[in-house]
């Protein structure tokens, strides 16, 4: 929406006589564009970057890592036991768990690392490091511990766990799609091997 104002010249008696010009206020247009961009790139529930923005950031990180000679790992995590919370306590409680979890995850990663919500109860972390996959494994262990700490929601202690798959850039994994897919497959392997790992 644009707001236009007219500059009007008045005669000696104070009556409008002619339009001299117009001004357009595009502040609302810019605000609307920013809102659309936010909707397109950020998860509405957790305010974390969504799958689209995370994939873009991963592609940027891959290009940057090749220039700087850094390693990148992606930790793909899926919550264990979250479906039970949604099914027994309702989606409102499940949403509260996801919001609290998003804050925990943001506080658990380093400043240069990136996190996003891929959908449902799936998240991913992009981690830079010179000692991969050791740094990613240490991050995954820390995240499992942080996620496993009970959530206090509506005077109830709720516990979820996490299964995490890790993929390190290099070899066959040179683009964001391949790397996320490999981390996703590794996460399913962690679930198949008993969850919480």
Active site residues: 121
- Residue length, the chain? 197
Q: What is the largest CA-CA distance in the chain?
A: 88
Please give the Cα distance from 131 to 70 (Å, whole number): 9
Give the DSSP letter string of 133-194. Answer: THHHHHHHHHHHHHHHSPEEETTEEE--EEEEEEEESBTTB-SHHHHHHHHHHHHHHHHHTT
What are the CA-CA distances from residue 131 to residues 16, 40, 135, 138, 144 (Å)?
74, 34, 6, 11, 20
Q: Of 130, 128, 106, give the one whose Cα is nearest residue 57.
A: 128
Please give the Cα distance from 27 to 6 (Å, whole number): 17
Other Cβ atoms within 10 Å of 41 Cβ, number: 16
Please give the Cα distance from 126 to 76 (Å, whole number): 9
């Amino acid at each position: 929406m644009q707001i236009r104002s007219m500059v009007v010249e008045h005669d000696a008696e104070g009556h409008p006589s002619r339009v001299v010009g117009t001004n357009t206020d595009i502040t609302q247009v810019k605000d609307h564009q920013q809102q659309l961009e936010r909707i397109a790139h950020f998860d509405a529930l957790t305010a974390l970057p969504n799958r689209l923005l995370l994939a873009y950031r991963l592609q940027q990180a891959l290009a940057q890592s090749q220039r700087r000679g850094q390693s990148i790992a992606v930790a793909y995590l899926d919550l264990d036991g979250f479906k039970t919370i949604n099914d027994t306590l309702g989606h409102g409680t499940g949403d509260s768990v996801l919001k609290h979890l998003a804050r925990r995850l943001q506080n658990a990663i380093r400043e240069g690392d990136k996190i996003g919500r891929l959908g449902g109860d799936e998240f991913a972390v992009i981690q830079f490091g010179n000692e991969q996959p050791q740094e990613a494994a240490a991050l995954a262990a820390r995240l499992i511990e942080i996620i496993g700490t009970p959530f206090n929601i509506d005077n109830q202690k709720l516990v979820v766990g996490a299964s995490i798959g890790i993929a390190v850039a290099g070899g066959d994994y040179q683009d964001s799609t391949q790397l996320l897919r490999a981390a996703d497959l590794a996460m399913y392997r962690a679930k198949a091997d008993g969850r919480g790992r």
